C-alpha cells in the first residue's frame, strides 16, 4: 500500500470519526444537557412543593395527610404555559395522599423530595414529566446532526483527499523532475553517511547514493560505490578534509575544496553541503579544463603571447613589488629599457611575420643572458624591459647593459635571410631617477631615446637633460598643432630643370614654418617631430591642398603650367583614405592632375608593397606623376620597383654630395641612372650645387636636376615672377656660380 493510500485511509477514518462524533455527540450532548436540566427542574419544583407541604404539615401535624383539598390545590398550582406533569404527595408507605395528574407519555422522568414534620421525614413529594418531547427534540437534533455529519464527512473526505492527492501528484512530479535533474546533471552528486564509533565520535563515512555523473567522474559503477568507505573510494584524498567537513557541518558554513584524481589526473572541485544531520553530500565538478583555461587566460593576461615573456601588466605588478621591497629594505634596483635599432625598417620591409621571428630570437637570447631573479618583459613591439636588483656599484649596471648589447648585437637567421640587429638601452635607477613605477619607466624610456640619438647600439643612463628634451619635444608638437590651426606654415618652391638644356621643368613644393615668436623654424626640426607625433598627416594634407590651390591660382592668373612635386610621408601614404583624399583635393581645386607629382620614399612604398601598388594605380588613373624620393637611401627592393607605376626616381642628395669625393658615390649614381634608363624612368638629381656634379650627371644621362646650383627655394611671388618671365621672354634665367649663363625655357 502506498503512502498516499495510507494517508487517504487515515483521512477517511478521521473524517468518519469526526462525522460520527458530530452525529452522535451533538444529540447526545443535547439530550444529556436537557435531561440534566429537566431533572434539575423537577428536583427544584419538588423541593419548592415540598417546602409548601412542610408548612401544611407543621400547621396540622396530626391530620395533615387528610388535608386533601389543600394539598390538591397546591399541586394544581402550575405555571400558565405549564408542561404536562404528574404531581403527587405520598406518605412513607407510598400511599398517595394527594395528586395532580396530567396524561404523560412514556418514558417518564421524576424528581422527588422528602416532606418533613419536625425534622422527621413523613412522606415524599414527587413530580414527573414525560421524556417523550425531549426524545423527539433529541431525534430532531440527531437528524440534523446526521445531515451535518454527512456533510462534514463528505467535506472532510473530499477536500483534504483532493488536496492530498494533488500534493502527492505534485510531489511525485517534483520528485520525478528532480530525480531526472539529479541523474542528468553534469555535476556528480554523492551522498555520504557519517559513521560514528561507540563513543559517538565520527570516524569515517560511507557512500549512500550517487548519480550517474558521479560514477562517470570517479570511474566506478553505482553498485561498486554504494556502501563503500569514503577513504577507499577517494583513495584517501578526501580523508584530509574530513575534519573540515565535520566542522562545516557543525557551523553550517559553506565548504569546498579541489582534489586531483591520481588515476585520471582529473581535477575535481567539491562543494560540500549538508542535507540532514549525520549526512553530507558532495557536488563534484570536473574543473580540469576550466583550470587549464584559467591558466591560459592568466598567461594571456600577464604574458606576451609571442615571446612568452611577462607583458606590461605583469611587469608593472612586479615593479610595484620590487619597489615596495626596495623602499622597505632601502635597497636599489635598476630598470633597463631596450629597443631594437631600426626594427621598424625590418618590420616594414620584411613584413611582420619576419619581425616576429626576430623578436622571438632576441627574447630567447635575453632570457639566457639574465639571472633567474631578474625580470624580463616585452612591453611593446620591439621594446623590452629588464628589472634587476643592484648588488653593487652602477658600474655593474653598465656591465649588464653592455653584456646585453653584446649578446643581442648579431646576425639572426630569419626565413633563410640574415638580419642584423642591435639594441639601444635606457637605464633608470631607483631611487635616484624616480620613486614610482611610471616615472622610472618614463625615465628609462627617455634614456633609451638618448641612446638612440647617440646612434644606437649603446646604453645611456637617465639624466635630467633628457627630461628637458622630452618636454621640448612635447612643446614642439603642441606648437605644430597650433601652427596648423593658425596657418603659420607656408610654401616655397625649388625649381627642377632639364639637365641637358636647362629648361624649366617644374618645382618641388617645400613646407616652411614662420613662428611669430621664434621666427623661422628649420624643417629638419619640425618635420621629424610631426612624423613622430602623427601630425605629419594633417600637415601633409595641408601642403597638398595648398599646393593645388596655388596651381589653380597660377593657372587662372594665366601663368604657364609647370610640374609641381609634393612630398608625401610614409605615414600619410599608409592612411587608408589617402588616395581618396588626393582625388578629393584634385576635384575640389580643379587642377590638371597631369601637372601634379607626388614624391614618396622607397621605405613608404615598401612598407606594404601590395597596398602601394593598388594606391599608386589609383593615382595613376588620375594622371598624377609618381616620384620615388631619396632613391638609394632606403631599403630598395628591385623586385617591387618594376611593379610600381613610377614616372621618376630622385637620387638622394647624399650620393650627389659624395660625387666629388668618393668613387663609390659615382658608381652608385651611375648604377641608379643605368637602372632607371633600363626601366624607362626619368632620373632627377637633387642637391646639385656645382658644375662638376652637373657635368657628371649630364654625362651619365640624368634627365633632370635641382639644387642650389640653379635655384634656392623660391617664394611664391618669385616663382610667379619667374613663370611670368618665362612666359614673356624665354631668356637665360640666371647665371651659375661659375658665371655660365643658362638659357631656360618652359619644358613641354
Partner 1 sequence: MASTVKNITSLSLVIIGLLFLPALCQARAELIRINGSGAAVDILRPMISAYAKQHPNVKFVVNKPLGSKGAVKALLAGFLDIAVSSKVVTREEAAQGASFSDYGRIPLAVVSPAAVGKQDITTRELTDIFSGKVRQWPNGEPIRIILRPRDDIDAQILAGLSPGMDAALRSARKRPGMIFAATDPEATESILRTPGAIGTAALSCVISAKGRLKAFRLNGRAPTPVGIADGTYPLAKDVRFVTTSRTTAAARDFLRFVYSAQGRAMAKKEGVLVTAMDEKNP
Whole-number minimum distance, CB 151 to partner 1, in Å? 45
Min CB(45)–partner 1 separation in Å: 17
Pick the stretch among 54-62, 188-196, 483-491, 623-631 that binds partner 1 (CB under 8 A).
54-62
Cα separation values, 546 from 75, 538, 711, 716, Å: 146, 12, 22, 12
**Closer residue to partner 1, CB minimum distance, 77 or 298:** 77
With CA atoms as reference, report the closest residue to 421 among 492, 466, 360, 362: 362
Task: Determine contact, residues 626/647, Cβ cutoff 8 Å.
Answer: yes
**Smallest separation, CB 109 to partner 1 (Å):** 25
CB-based contacts of 745: which residues, under 8 Å, 6+ apart?
503, 504, 726, 730
* Rounded CA separation 317/387 (Å): 12
Enumerate residues 56-75 that contact partner 1 by CB under 8 A.
59-60, 62-63, 65-70, 72-73
At its nearest, how many Å lie between partner 1 and the CB of residue 34?
Answer: 26
CB-nearer residue toward partner 1: 48 or 478: 48
Would you say 433 and 440 are in contact if contact means Cβ atoms under 8 Å apart?
Answer: yes
Distance of alpha carbon 64 from alpha carbon 90, whole angstroms:
12
In the range 78-97, which residues lie near partner 1 by CB under 8 A?
80
Shortest Å distance, C-beta 86 to partner 1: 16
Number of residues that bind partner 1 (CB under 8 A): 15
Quote the least distance from Cβ 74 to partner 1, whole Å: 8
Q: In angstroms, what is the minimal distance from the CB of 124 to partner 1?
A: 19
If the CB atoms of residues 65 and 636 are measured against partner 1, the closer one turns out to be: 65
Shortest Cβ distance from residue 87 to partner 1 (Å)?
13
Distances (CA, A) of 701 to 26, 51, 162, 506, 689: 138, 170, 113, 19, 18
Q: How far apart are the first and last CA of the chain?
A: 116
Q: Which residues contact 457 (CB under 8 A, 6 or more apart)?
A: 341, 405, 409, 422, 423, 424
CB 623 within 8 A of CB 368: no
Residue 95 or 180 having the CB closest to partner 1: 95
Least Å distance, CB 143 to partner 1, is: 34
Q: How many CB atoms lie within 10 A of CB 556?
A: 9
**Cβ(536)–Cβ(572) below 8 Å:** yes
Residue list 282-301, contact with partner 1 (CB under 8 A): none
Considering beta carbons, is residue 88 or 375 the nearer one to partner 1? 88
Core vs surface per residue 134-143: b (16+ CB within 10 A) or e: bbeebeebbe
The C-alpha atoms of residue 659 and residue 642 are separated, in whole angstroms, by 27
**Least distance CB 99 / partner 1 (angstroms):** 11
Span near partner 1 by CB under 8 A; candidates 76-84, 299-307, 445-453, 558-566: 76-84
Query: Smallest distance from the beta carbon of 105 to partner 1, in angstroms?
Result: 22
- Which lies closer to partner 1 via its Cβ, residue 68 or residue 712? 68
Which helix H or strand E contains 424, and what residues bound it? strand 423-430
708 binds partner 1 (CB under 8 A): no
Q: How far is the CB of 120 from partner 1 (least distance, A)?
A: 19
Provide CB contacts within 8 A for 660, sequence distance 6+: 690, 692, 693
| Cβ-based nearer residue to partner 1, 65 or 604 | 65
Q: How far is the CB of 54 from partner 1 (least distance, A)?
A: 16
Please, which residue, 73 or 406, has the CB nearer to partner 1? 73
Among residue numbers 562 through 621, which ones bind partner 1 (CB under 8 A)? none
Which of residues 117 and 658 has its CB atom nearest to partner 1 in the complex?
117
Would you say 77 or 468 has its CB closer to partner 1?
77
Q: How far is the CB of 78 from partner 1 (least distance, A)?
A: 9
d(CA 665, CA 287): 69
Taking the least distance from each CB to partner 1, the nearer of 69 and 201 is 69
Distance CA 174, CA 421 (A): 72
CA distance 494 to 719: 9
Residue 112: its H or E element = strand 108-117
Q: Which is nearer to partner 1, 59 or 289 (CB)?
A: 59
Please list, in sequence order, all residues whose beta carbon lies within 8 angstroms of the beta carbon of residue 609, skipping any fewer than 6 positions away.
Answer: 637, 640, 643
CB of 73 to partner 1, least distance (A): 4
Q: Which is nearer to partner 1, 91 or 689 (CB)?
A: 91
Minimum distance from residue 70 beta carbon to partner 1 (Å): 4
Between residues 65 and 349, which has the closer beta carbon with respect to partner 1?
65
Rounded Cα–Cα distance for residues 512 and 530 (Å): 13
Q: Which long-range contacts (CB under 8 A, 24 or more apart) does 735-740 make?
A: 736/691, 736/709, 736/710, 737/690, 737/691, 737/709, 738/691, 740/691
- Which residue's CB is nearer to partner 1, number 117 or number 670? 117
Residue nearer to partner 1 on the CB measure, 72 or 718? 72
Q: How far is the CB of 66 from partner 1 (least distance, A)?
A: 4
DSSP-H helix ranges across 60-198 = 68-76, 132-184
Q: 609, 642 in Cβ contact below 8 A? A: no
* Cα dist from 16 to 139, 142, 151, 237, whole Å: 21, 16, 11, 59
Please report the DSSP string for 277-322 in residue order: TTEEEEEEEE-HHHHHHHHHHHHHHHB-TTT--B-HHHHHHHHHHH
- What is the distance between the alpha carbons of residues 197 and 212, in angstroms, rounded to a whole number? 31
Identify the residue among 76, 621, 692, 699 touching partner 1 (CB under 8 A): 76
Q: Which of 77, 371, 417, 727 binds partner 1 (CB under 8 A)?
A: 77
User: Alpha-carbon torsion 305, 306, 309, 314, what sign?
Assistant: negative
Nearer to partner 1, 62 or 263 (CB): 62
Residue (of 415, 414, 385, 416) closest to 401 by Cα position: 385
Interacting residue ranges for partner 1, rule: CB under 8 A: 59-60, 62-63, 65-70, 72-73, 76-77, 80
Amino acid at each position: 500500500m502506498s503512502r498516499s493510500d495510507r494517508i487517504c485511509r487515515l483521512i477517511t477514518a478521521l473524517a468518519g470519526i469526526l462525522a460520527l462524533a458530530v452525529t452522535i455527540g451533538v444529540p447526545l450532548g443535547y439530550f444529556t444537557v436537557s435531561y440534566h436540566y429537566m431533572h434539575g427542574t423537577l428536583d427544584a419544583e419538588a423541593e419548592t412543593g415540598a417546602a409548601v407541604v412542610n408548612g401544611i404539615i407543621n400547621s396540622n401535624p396530626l391530620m395533615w395527610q387528610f388535608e386533601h383539598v389543600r394539598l390538591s390545590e397546591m399541586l394544581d398550582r402550575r405555571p400558565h404555559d405549564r408542561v404536562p406533569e404528574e404531581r403527587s404527595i405520598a406518605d412513607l408507605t407510598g400511599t398517595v395522599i394527594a395528586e395532580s395528574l396530567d396524561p404523560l407519555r412514556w418514558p417518564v422522568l421524576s424528581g422527588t423530595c422528602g416532606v418533613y414534620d419536625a425534622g422527621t421525614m413523613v412522606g415524599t413529594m414527587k413530580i414527573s414529566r414525560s421524556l417523550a418531547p425531549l426524545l423527539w427534540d433529541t431525534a430532531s437534533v440527531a437528524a440534523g446532526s446526521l445531515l451535518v455529519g454527512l456533510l462534514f464527512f463528505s467535506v472532510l473526505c473530499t477536500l483534504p483527499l483532493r488536496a492530498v492527492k494533488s500534493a502527492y501528484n505534485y510531489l511525485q512530479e517534483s520528485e520525478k523532475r528532480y530525480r531526472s535533474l539529479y541523474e542528468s546533471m553534469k555535476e556528480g552528486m554523492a551522498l555520504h553517511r557519517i559513521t560514528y564509533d561507540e563513543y559517538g565520535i565520527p570516524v569515517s563515512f560511507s557512500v549512500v547514493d550517487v548519480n550517474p555523473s558521479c560514477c562517470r567522474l570517479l570511474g566506478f559503477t553505482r553498485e561498486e560505490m554504494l556502501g563503500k568507505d569514503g577513504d577507499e573510494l577517494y583513495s584517501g584524498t578526501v580523508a584530509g578534509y574530513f575534519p573540515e567537513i565535520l566542522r562545516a557541518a557543525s557551523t553550517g558554513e559553506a565548504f569546498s575544496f579541489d582534489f586531483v584524481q591520481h588515476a585520471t589526473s582529473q581535477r575535481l572541485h567539491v562543494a560540500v553541503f549538508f542535507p540532514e544531520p549525520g549526512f553530507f553530500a558532495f557536488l563534484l565538478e570536473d574543473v580540469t579544463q576550466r583550470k587549464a583555461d584559467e591558466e591560459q587566460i592568466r598567461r594571456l593576461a600577464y604574458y606576451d603571447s609571442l615571446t612568452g615573456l611577462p607583458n606590461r601588466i605583469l611587469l608593472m605588478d612586479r615593479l610595484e613589488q620590487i619597489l615596495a621591497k626596495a623602499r622597505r629594505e632601502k635597497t636599489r634596483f635598476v630598470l633597463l629599457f631596450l629597443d631594437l635599432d631600426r626594427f621598424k625598417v625590418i618590420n616594414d620591409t620584411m613584413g611582420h611575420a619576419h619581425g616576429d621571428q626576430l623578436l622571438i630570437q632576441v627574447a630567447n637570447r635575453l632570457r639566457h643572458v639574465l639571472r633567474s631573479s631578474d625580470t624580463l618583459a616585452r612591453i611593446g613591439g620591439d621594446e623590452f624591459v629588464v628589472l634587476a636588483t643592484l648588488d653593487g656599484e652602477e658600474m655593474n649596471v653598465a656591465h649588464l647593459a653592455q653584456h646585453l648589447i653584446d649578446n643581442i648585437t648579431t646576425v639572426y637567421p630569419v626565413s633563410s635571410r640574415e638580419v642584423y640587429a642591435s639594441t639601444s638601452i635606457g637605464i633608470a635607477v631607483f631611487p635616484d631617477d624616480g620613486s614610482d613605477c611610471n616615472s622610472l619607466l618614463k625615465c628609462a624610456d627617455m634614456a633609451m631615446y638618448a641612446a638612440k640619438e647617440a646612434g644606437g647600439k649603446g646604453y645611456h643612463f637617465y639624466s635630467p637633460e633628457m627630461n628637458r628634451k622630452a618636454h621640448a619635444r612635447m612643446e614642439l608638437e603642441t606648437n605644430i598643432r597650433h601652427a596648423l590651426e593658425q596657418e603659420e606654415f607656408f610654401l616655397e618652391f625649388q625649381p627642377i630643370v632639364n639637365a641637358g638644356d636647362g629648361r624649366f621643368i617644374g618645382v618641388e613644393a617645400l613646407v616652411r614654418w614662420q613662428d611669430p615668436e621664434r621666427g623661422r623654424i628649420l624643417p629638419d626640426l619640425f618635420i621629424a617631430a610631426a612624423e613622430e607625433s602623427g601630425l605629419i598627416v594633417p600637415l601633409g594634407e595641408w601642403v597638398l591642398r595648398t599646393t593645388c590651390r596655388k596651381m589653380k591660382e597660377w593657372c587662372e592668373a594665366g601663368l604657364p603650367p609647370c610640374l609641381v612635386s609634393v612630398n608625401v610621408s610614409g605615414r600619410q601614404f599608409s592612411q587608408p583614405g589617402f588616395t581618396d583624399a588626393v582625388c578629393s583635393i584634385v576635384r575640389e581645386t580643379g587642377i590638371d592632375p597631369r601637372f601634379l607629382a607626388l614624391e614618396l620614399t622607397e621605405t613608404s612604398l615598401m612598407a606594404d608593397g601590395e597596398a602601394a601598388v593598388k594606391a599608386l594605380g589609383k593615382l595613376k588613373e588620375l594622371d598624377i606623376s609618381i616620384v620615388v624620393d631619396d632613391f638609394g637611401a632606403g631599403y630598395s627592393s628591385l623586385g617591387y620597383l618594376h611593379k610600381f607605376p613610377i614616372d621618376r626616381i630622385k637620387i638622394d642628395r647624399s650620393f650627389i654630395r659624395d660625387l666629388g669625393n668618393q668613387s663609390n658615390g659615382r658608381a652608385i649614381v651611375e648604377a641608379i641612372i643605368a637602372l632607371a634608363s633600363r626601366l624607362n624612368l626619368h632620373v632627377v638629381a637633387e642637391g646639385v650645387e656645382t658644375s662638376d656634379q652637373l657635368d657628371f650627371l649630364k654625362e651619365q644621362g640624368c634627365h633632370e636636376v635641382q639644387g642650389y646650383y640653379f635655384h634656392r627655394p623660391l617664394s611664391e611671388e618669385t616663382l610667379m615672377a619667374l613663370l611670368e618671365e618665362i612666359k614673356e621672354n624665354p631668356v637665360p634665367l640666371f647665371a651659375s656660380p661659375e658665371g655660365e649663363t643658362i638659357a631656360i625655357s618652359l619644358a613641354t
